[in-house]
Structure 1
Amino acid sequence: MLRLDTDLLRSRAAAIGDGTHAEIARRAGIDRSVVTRLFSGTVPSLFNLTAIAWAYGIALDDLVPNAETKAEVPA
């Protein structure tokens, strides 16, 4: 299932001084309620993903990793 990597987004946003959902939304040009829903686990639309990815310079593959790349690989 498609899920936003909120840890990555949160760290990129914090690095440039965007600490709230409202600041992330403003930079990405989307509604604050959309950002709040994404952080709570709602499946993102391609439009919203693209807006966030462009705003923070994050590749879509990194912003929405598949389950295998997100899982820990045993040593």
Structure 2
Amino acid sequence: MLYEIDRSADAVLRTIEIFEDGRITRNSIDLEQRNGYHCPSLIDCSLNEGFDGVGVEAMPHDEFEALWAKGVDTPVWFA
């Protein structure tokens, strides 16, 4: 799972999931809020709590965007 985070807002803004069969799904706050729902983050806890003990590595923004462009919209919370 790949995450775009905003540390100042303590939020996950977008996610990308890449499956073994090559499928790519994506989600974002914008997708979750498109029907008027309030979704400040794609995780329901703080970044510190959600990623505690997890090795997080940065990736180039253009690589994230290229994968995002290949993904299929897949809202989770308010589908």
Question: TM-score range, shorter-chain basis?
Answer: under 0.3
Q: TM-score, normalised by structure 2?
A: 0.26
More helix, by proportion = 1
More strand, by proportion = 2
Higher-RCO chain (CA-CA 8 Å, sequence separation at least 6): 1
Q: TM-score, normalised by structure 1?
A: 0.27
